[in-house]
Amino acid sequence: MSPKSEHIDIRRAMAADAPVLAYMGRLTFTQSYASVIAAEELASYTSRTFGLERIRTELATAEITYLLALVEGTPCGYSKLEPTTPPVAVNGPNPVELARLYVLPEWIGQGIGTTLIRETLGAALERGCCSCWLRVWTENQRAIKFYRQCGFHEVGSEPYYVGRCSETVLLMIRNLSR
């Protein structure tokens, strides 16, 4: 059964959401990269990047915005906006990085990502950002197509390191309008 967008709730994540954010991050990242990144490198990266204390610290950081997507109270995805220094290829005005947009596998194709990105870009505008950029793995054609449909365009590529392993990611950007 596919939820209608009016049944998808998006809210700012709170400290109490840290365990579910950490779980979703580890699960979705591992499922995406398990076939190309060595297991020990992947385990080390996900435990560090999606560690509970790190997520709690980020949730307490005013500059970082986590949005949580829920359907009937069930967490199904999240996004993370973070003011980072963009790569040289990303030259949009006053940029913010869409560092994460994850939807649990069983919810993909049900409008969660579309609703979540719309709210996330709105949050970027509320912060005064004029552009939003992201990295997406070159092998994730479904995500690349999704981001293109959401108005992002490619501006370059770069290596993305997970321990000693490296994969190529596309750099994409979208200008935001008020």
**Per-residue model confidence as pLDDT tens digits over 125-146:** 999 999 999 999 999 999 999 9
What pLDDT sits at residue 98? 98
What pLDDT sits at residue 4? 54
CB 70 within 8 A of CB 8: yes
Residue closest to 172 by CA, chosen among 132, 140, 130? 132
What pLDDT sits at residue 5? 55
> Residue for token digits 């990611």?
169
Mean pLDDT of 71-88: 96
Mean pLDDT of 101-118: 95
Residue 73 has pLDDT above 90, yes or no: yes
Q: Is the pTM of this model over 0.85?
A: yes
Query: Token pair of 107, please?
Result: 């919810």
What pLDDT sits at residue 1? 44
What pLDDT sits at residue 174? 96
Residue closest to 40 by CA, chosen among 168, 178, 170, 162? 162
What pLDDT sits at residue 55? 98
> Residue for token digits 């869409």?
98
Of the two residues 97 and 92, the one the predictor is more confident about is 97
**What's the pLDDT band for 68 if we cut at 50, 70, 90?**
very high
Residue closest to 76 by CA, chosen among 119, 114, 106, 48? 106
Residue 80 has pLDDT above 70, yes or no: yes
What pLDDT sits at residue 45? 93
Q: What strands, in cross-sheet order, belong to the sheet with 74-82?
A: 8-12, 65-71, 74-82, 95-103, 131-137, 165-175, 153-162
Q: What fold does the segment set 5-175 form as a domain?
A: Aminopeptidase (3.40.630)
What pLDDT sits at residue 163? 83
CB 12 within 8 A of CB 66: yes
